Structures are given as C-alpha cells and as structure tokens.
Structure 1
Amino acid sequence: MSRQRTVSDQIWRSNRMSGFTEEDRYALLYFLTSPFSNVIGAYEVVIRIAASEMGWDPDSQLMPVMRRLVDAGILDFDPQANYIWVKDWWDHHSAKMAVATTLRTKTLEQIEALPHGWRDAYVSDFINRLPVGDPLRKTVAKALSYGPYRLSTPYAEPDDGRMPISACAKDLHRNQSLNEGHTLGIAYPEAMDRGPGNTTTNTNLIYNPTTTRADDGLHYPRALVTAEKMSIQNLLTDVPLADAQALLDELEGAIKKPGTIQKSKVAYFKGLLNNHRKGGFVPAAGILVATRRREHLTATHDASRASDSVPLSKAETQAQIQNLKAQLSIHTRMPK
C-alpha cells in the first residue's frame, strides 16, 4: 500500500510563498510528497530520478529551482550525501506524532542517519517543534545525546564538514511557521526577473566554489550529470591531482562495464575513494581509460603541430622535390 503525505492548506496563504514561481511551488510540493521522503522530512534523494518523476530535466530545470529554494531557506541540500532537508516539513506534519510509541524508533534512527553537519541544527529545530513543557522534549534530547535545548541555526560551526551557504537574508526564514501569518516573508534575497518565459534561470549556487576544483584540469567521465560531477568534485578537494585522475579513470572504466555499478556513480566513487584513503586502491579498469586518453592527446598534439607548421615557399618546395628525386635516383627535368 502506498504511503500518504500531508500538506497544510496554509501553504497557499503563507507570506513566505508570496514571491515563489510556479516551478518553485511545484518543486516544494514534490519534496513534501516525494517517494524518497521519510518520517522526518530529511532524506537521501537521487536527483535524476526526482527530475524524471517531475517530468523535468535535472540540470536545466530541477537544480536551478533547488538553488532558489535553498537561498530562500525552504530547503537544504547536501551534495556529498545527496540529502534533502525540507525545512518546513513540521509545518505539515506533527512532530509529536513522529516520536509517539509507534514511530519513535524509526524517527530517531532517521535523525541519527542525517549528515553530520545537519544533526545538531535538525535536532534543535525538531525539539522546538514539540509542545513547550512536554516531557517528550527531554526524552528526545536524551535519546539523541543532545545537550541544552537551544535553537541553533544550520551550519553555525565553521568546521562542521558541510559546505557553507552564505547566510544572506534567508536567515529571516529559518524556523518560521506557516501559522505565523503576519510575519514578513521575503522569498528571494535578490531581485528576480518575473517576466514571461522560463523562470528557472537563477544562478545562485548551492555549492561553495571555494571547496571545489572546477578548473583543476581533471578529466571527468562524460556520463556524469552536473549534480554527480559537483558531488565528486567536493569529495576530491583534498586529493592530489594525480590520484584524483586515477580514481576518475577507474570510475569511467566501471561506468563503461555494465553491471559494475550497483547503486549510484557517486556511491561507487566514494567506495573507490575510501579504498584510496586506506591505501588499498589498485587501478584496474582505469588503466585502459588512461592509456586511451594519452594516445588521443598525443595524436591530437601531433596533428596540431603539423597544422601549425609554416608552409614552404614555391622555391623551397621545388628544392625539396629535387632532393627527394635525387635520393630516389630519378632524373627528371624540373619544369621552369
């Protein structure tokens, strides 16, 4: 039997939603009701599958809208873990019901599985969603080994392992309830073109460019979509270039061999990277990939050198022909 998700009708009257485009609303509704979703509203997602279920292209449609929702403080996205956090989840579901006897074990397990950089912020927000004075607050804090009750903002710690998103005006939106009908909601911290046509052109990035090596000269498998490439770039921030290329070549070799990758390309790459960090990585499928790339580069370089050579003059050309004929013992009178 399929699961059911609840969406409060106040979503249509929320000041926070007043500046949202149709695409923004559609994406938010998807993440509130996604088949990937779980009890706590923070879950692992496969971007390509999500986009397919929405009837969108992952790179040109879904990712730009996700960036806008992240900027607005409605979502958060961890590209390393491929986790989505729907910040308004508890405006549509009961936090108290989630830790009732029936669901408590599952809820606590899912919170424990969150990306490390989100855990304290999520627990703080969750506890503050429980009724004031309810003994469940203490029960949940104790079960999750959470300290004093405090309302922290996500990514408050500079070294929490997550890529920071600039705070901007989106901090105004954090932990606002849809029931706060008179709070001022600014959907987007920056001006946006609301004219006709495609509205999914916001260029604000989810990813902090200082943590990636987009111009590192590495050769990535062509089969990777943008989200997968960005996730892998972030995983490689502290890996020497030569080792990084060997790992990428191994990934490409695995992609080209059907049946090698059982889950996702990013998950497979994480396995390769873990072996590398432990000193157990041995190139196999990547050797052929690297060899073919070197051969291609050599052939391209030789062709480029040939095309860049300075053409000979007519006299020089005739002299070269004479020389060749002399070497072949061909005595032919050259035309004047």
Structure 2
Amino acid sequence: MGRQRTINDKKFWNSPKMAGRTQEDRATLVYLLTCTSSNIVGSYSIVPRIAAAEMGWDTESQFMPVLKRLCDSDFIKYDAETSFVWVRIWWEHNSPKMALAPTLRQKSIKQIREMPAHWISDYLDDMAERLQESDEYREMLIQEFQASSQSANQGENHRCDATDRVSIPHRQPMDRPVDDYSSQISGENTKAAIHAEAEGSRRGKPEGHAQDNRVSVPYLSHIPRGAGNYNPNNNYKNNNTTTDRLIFPHDLSRAAQASIEEALLQVSDTDAQKLLDELAAAIASKKVKTTITQLFHGLLKIYHQGKLQPSSGAIAIADKRSQNGGVGQEAIATLKRKMLIN
C-alpha cells in the first residue's frame, strides 16, 4: 500500500534556499522527499540507476550530476560507497516530534543507526537543533545515543573518543594472515588491496563533504545552458567514465557491479579497465577470502595512491581481450547471460 508524503509549499517553492535551483534540482528534491525508498528520518539507501529510471533520466549524464550539485549546495549528503542519501531539508517537510513519538520512536532510532557512521553525529546535532522547543524529545534523543555510547565504551573491543556522543563501530579489520590471499596471478596487488581496505575500516569512512559549510549557496540567476540534462546547464563538468564500455568480471553480482560502477565514475576508461582486469585476475586466483567489493575498493585506493602495478594475471586478461578484437571472455559470458535473460 502506498504512503502519503507531504511537502511544505512555502518552505519549498518560496524558500530563499531554492533561489537559482534548476528544474532538475527541484525535481530531484521532490523525488528524494517522496520516493518509495524514503523512510521516517530522511536518510536511506538508493539505487541510482533505479532512481534515474523512475525519473525518466540517464544515470551518468543526468541523475548523478544533479545529485552532485545538490551535495555541493548542501541540500543532501550522498555516500557513494553505501549509496546512502541524507536529505538535509527533510525536517522542513516532516515533523521530528512525530518521528520520535512513542509509536515510531524505536523504528526512527533504528533507521538513524543504519546510516553511514560518519554522518550520525552531524545528523543528531541537526535534529536536536530542530527540537529546541521540545525539550522532552531532545533530551530523549540525547539520552538514547549517550546510552549506546556508554554501552560501547564498556566493551573491550570498542574504543571511543571521550568527546563522542555516539559510538557506531566500523567493520572489524580482517585478522586473517594477508599471505592467505596471495596468488601467482595477482598476489602483490591483492595483498596491498587488503591492507588498504583494512586500514580504511580502522579509520572509518572519510566525510565526503565539508561539515562546516551548512549554508546553501544558490547558483547565479543566469545559468549557462548547453548540452547535458533535460533542462541543461554547464555548472557540472561531466568527466565520468562511461561504464557501458567496460568489461566486468562475469561472476559479479548485480549489487557488486553497481557499487563498482559508482566508484569508477571519476576514473578514466583506460584506468578503469585496468582496475577491472586486476579484479578479474584476483577472482580467478580463487584465493581471495574477502568480499569482491572490499577487494575492489582496496585496489582503487592503491590506484589513487599511484602504487598500482599491473599483475601478470591482469596483463594476460588484457592480452586475451586484445586477441579477441577487444571482447574478452568476461564480455562473452555477459552477452550470453543477457541473451538468456531476454
């Protein structure tokens, strides 16, 4: 059964923050405030390709540029690794007191804890500020997460900074020997990727946008128009990889491929294919014991550090693809799978 969503007309159409917003900006905000993925607290995961399809847009050339623009102007936050979005104007159109009422309280608390850990402190600050006239609900919110923080501090495996009000543990670093992952095909890059992934897990995910810039800066009243979106503008320089031209390992799940495609958007086609070849070589070794997505993000981190060296396995995959006229075994398997689906 469908749900009814409400938008405050004055706070949307007459808000000074909306000045200079393009048609695409406004349409995307309406979508994020009302889509079927939305929840009680305004922070939830989306599938960009599905969201773009529901809006009748292309993912890379239309939806993602608008999403980035809304991030830059602080209307939303978006975490590319988890595909979580936080609609920063959610409480302008929904009641935080209603979300913390007895009937919805536990579900709201659960949804807050499900968002990316590095957002939670800012989210609670924002929500508490909107509850200034409701001391009862604000105190309840603070006590709820303080209790979680104190409980986590008592565990010997969780260390929290004393100034933190919230303790949400990151994924535990992998404690198995790195040598277990080595292989003659892509051993060095695989081990380095696992080191990088484990280090990232210990440190937590980096914040994608500046936390101290919470004021929306509208675009100039005159926005240059050109090729691009449905209501085109050139404020966003689209240097994205066209992932349709890339050859992915054939045994990736749809969720893993979607996550990897998102991560490759700002990588050139050539380098993106090299990364995918390294991933395919590591998978072919059958000795990788982490998840494929974790392994890929480790490889991507090494790439951004300028330390990625081509393995013999990846070189062999690239050579075979070249001999086949640019179509590798992975691509052939993908085409066969698509033919079966159709």
TM-score, normalised to structure 1, is 0.58
| 2:279 matched residue in structure 1 | 247
DSSP 3-state at the match of 2:86: strand
What are structure 2's unaligned runs of at least 5 residues? 150-161, 166-202, 241-245, 267-272, 285-290, 300-311, 327-342
| 2:236 matched residue in structure 1 | 203
Query: C-alpha separation between the residues in 1 aligned to 2:128 and 2:279?
Result: 42
* Percent identity (aligned): 31
Return the letter of the residue paired with 2:236: T
CA, structure 1 residues 94+300, in 2 after alignment: closer, same or farther (shift >3 Å)?
Answer: closer
Match of 1:229 among 238, 243, 261: 261
Query: C-alpha separation between the residues in 2 aligned to 1:5 and 1:28?
Result: 13
| 1:25 matched residue in structure 2 | 26
| 2:7 matched residue in structure 1 | 7
Return the letter of the residue paired with 2:2: S
CA-to-aligned-CA distance 1:293-329 (integer Å, 9 cap, x gap) = 332346889xxxxxxxxxxxxxxxxxxxxxxxxxxxx
Greater shift after overlay, 8-17 or 188-197? 188-197
| 1:293 matched residue in structure 2 | 318
Could you tell me how far 1:20 is from its partner in structure 2?
0.7
| 1:172 matched residue in structure 2 | 215
Cα pair 2:43 2:87 within 8 Å, conserved: yes
Query: C-alpha separation between the residues in 2 aligned to 1:171 and 1:59?
Result: 26
DSSP 3-state at the match of 1:35: coil
Query: C-alpha separation between the residues in 1 aligned to 2:321 and 2:279?
Result: 19
Q: How many residues align?
A: 241
CA, structure 1 residues 95+274, in 2 after alignment: closer, same or farther (shift >3 Å)?
Answer: same
Could you tell me how far 1:83 is from its partner in structure 2?
0.5
Query: C-alpha separation between the residues in 2 aligned to 1:226 and 1:191?
Result: 36
What are structure 1's unaligned runs of at least 5 residues? 151-158, 174-185, 208-217, 235-240, 253-267, 277-286, 302-336
CA RMSD of aligned residues (A): 4.5
Q: Please list, as runs of the form range in 1=range in 2, the aligned pairs for 1:290-329 lying within 5 A after superposition.
A: 292-297=317-322
DSSP 3-state at the match of 1:110: helix
DSSP 3-state at the match of 2:66: helix
| 1:269 matched residue in structure 2 | 292
Query: C-alpha separation between the residues in 2 aligned to 1:198 and 1:272?
Result: 39
DSSP 3-state at the match of 1:70: helix
Greater shift after overlay, 44-53 or 196-205? 196-205
Query: C-alpha separation between the residues in 2 aligned to 1:206 and 1:83?
Result: 22
Greater shift after overlay, 138-147 or 190-199? 190-199
TM-score, normalised to structure 2, is 0.57
| 1:120 matched residue in structure 2 | 121
Could you tell me how far 1:188 is from its partner in structure 2?
3.1
Query: C-alpha separation between the residues in 2 aligned to 1:219 and 1:74?
Result: 35
CA, structure 1 residues 93+300, in 2 after alignment: closer, same or farther (shift >3 Å)?
Answer: closer
Give the number of the structure whose residues are more often helix, by fraction: 2
Query: C-alpha separation between the residues in 1 aligned to 2:322 and 2:103?
Result: 61
| 2:206 matched residue in structure 1 | 162
Higher-Rg member (1/2) = 1
Query: C-alpha separation between the residues in 2 aligned to 1:160 and 1:220?
Result: 28
Q: Please list, as runs of the form range in 1=range in 2, the aligned pairs for 1:46-195 lying within 5 A after superposition.
A: 46-132=47-133, 134-145=135-146, 161-165=205-209, 171-173=214-216, 186-188=217-219, 192-193=223-224
Could you tell me how far 1:65 is from its partner in structure 2?
0.8
Cα pair 1:61 1:200 within 8 Å, conserved: no
Query: C-alpha separation between the residues in 1 aligned to 2:233 and 2:280?
Result: 31
Query: C-alpha separation between the residues in 1 aligned to 2:260 and 2:221?
Result: 27
Query: C-alpha separation between the residues in 2 aligned to 1:4 and 1:122?
Result: 24
Cα pair 1:98 1:107 within 8 Å, conserved: yes
Could you tell me how far 1:202 is from its partner in structure 2?
2.8
